[in-house]
Amino acid sequence: MAVRFSPIFNHQVVDSSGNPASGWKINTYLAGTSTPATTYTTSAGSVAQSNPIIINSLGFPTTGQIWLTDGVAYKLVLTNAGDVVQKTEDNISGVNDSSETSGEWSASSSTPTYISATSFSVTGDQTTDLHIGRRLKFTVNAGTVYGRIRNSAFSSVTTVTMVMESTALDSGLSAFSLSVLRNDNLSIPDKVHLDQDYTDLASAATANIFSQVTRKVNITGTTTITALDATPFAQAGKIVTGKFAGILTLTNNATSLIIPGGANITTAAGDTFVAEALGSGNVRIVNYVKADGTAIVATSVPAAASQAEMETATSTTVYATPGRTQYHPGVAKAWFSITNSGGAVTVNTSHNITSITRDSTGIFTVTIATDFSSAEYVCAGIYNNADSANNNKTVTFQAQAAGSVKINFGDGAGAATDPAYKATIVFFGDQ
């Protein structure tokens, strides 16, 4: 083991009275962490110091000089015999250690023990630094591989479960480094990995979308999903985007899996979603887009108004269709515009009129296509004999029946006259 002489605590350590600090302790950690780091008693790096290092009655390390691993930065914490911190020195490297440079990774002085393709163990309780979400770099038979901590637990040793990226751990596991940036107290905003490819994730009752290598997941399989994450990765505010590869049921839960519209979704290949962690294992789907473009929450459409509802004209919860608009009391049920020349009737335009017949000068019979419900309806009209405001004439109605009416046109002096220019007639009532 290549080591360098420690620049501190190799001298006599004294208390505030100047007496040797007998029984005091030097605790050794990786720089900036609380991960124990091994130091050595000789320049050969063959004998490990105790941790903590105990100060003897002369004020020197009991087991000899302190030598630091080459290329590793340390944090050295001096405490009294009662474990009260007296001094902390951080980012300490051995004398003339030119290999120690700042970077993305901090090498661990602990030797990992291989357990499986996704797990390993180290001695002592290192869960504070080997915390969920932190990235690790490993040296294995395959070379250098990377992953993110999925779970970390201490019993007699600290057992760490990983989410590996492209290559798994193997039995050649010999060393690891911790990312300088922690996952629990980031110094920069949490990254979203929008530039990375989708990570395939097999569907399961609980699909742990927040514990994947990237924040983009492609959910495969057909197993019904009732929860989207129960791991500590699902910290409140974290966002994951995803898509489905096939058909399955995404089950709504008002607390743990909140879906727009409050109903289950049957997924289809190509459907996409955005999920937000609410904390405590709860997740909200903040956006869901079906591949075929249909809405997952149906728009509420009011019912079409019946004839009776149109006739009463009081409802505000139904809509009028073109085929029933005519039943509203405020709508004209029939109308026409005619001119007459030499006894020949010309119908300029009309609605709901079967025929208009000239009986004699100034008298016309109108047959209505759809009868009124009775003879009690309103007729109104006006005509001019020339295109002049001074030629207003009279219009009267007689022989009014449910399906027909006679119209008399007069010259204003009582004499019947044909509407040579234009006559306009409208009818209102119940049909």
Pick the CATH number of 105-179 from 2.40.30, 2.60.40, 1.10.20, 1.10.132: 2.40.30
For residue range 355-367, list pLDDT tens digits in order: 999 999 999 999 9
* Nearest to 64, CA basis, from 37, 45, 42, 95: 42
Whether the per-residue pLDDT at 241 is higher than 80: the answer is yes
Give 227's strand partners. Answer: 206
Residue 42 CA, distance from chain mean position: 57
pLDDT digits (tens, 9 = 90+) for 119-164: 999 999 999 889 887 899 999 999 999 998 888 999 999 999 998 8
HSE-up (13 A, CA, CB side) for residue 396: 12
State the DSSP H helix or E strand holding residue 208, giving kind and residue range, or none if neither. none
Q: Where are the domains of the chain?
A: 1-101, 105-179, 199-289, 334-428
pLDDT reported for residue 193: 45
Closest CA to 138 of 110, 97, 157: 110
Rounded Cα distance between 105 and 223, Å, is: 39
**Closest CA relative to residue 38, chosen from 64, 7, 72, 11:** 72
Q: Tens digit of pLDDT for each residue in 72-118?
A: 889 999 999 999 999 999 889 888 876 655 568 888 878 899 999 99
Contact 221, 246 (CB under 8 A): yes
The highest-level CATH class for domain 1-101 is mainly beta
More confident residue, 198 or 222: 222
CB-based contacts of 364, cutoff 8 Å, min separation 6: 338, 345, 356, 357, 358, 406, 407, 409
Other C-beta atoms lying within 10 Å of the C-beta of residue 175 = 15
Closest residue by Cα to residue 296 from 287, 283, 307, 284 = 287
Continuous segment of H or E residues that includes residue 64: none
pLDDT tens, position by position, 415-426: 888 888 888 999
Classified as helix, coil or strand, 211 is helix
Q: For residue 182, what pLDDT band results from cuts at 50, 70 and 90?
A: confident
Q: What is the pLDDT of residue 192?
A: 44
Specify the pTM.
0.40
Work out the mean pLDDT of the chain and round it to a whole number: 88
Answer yes or no: is pLDDT of 427 > 60.
yes
Residue 188 predicted with pLDDT over 90 = no
Check pLDDT > 80 for residue 189: no
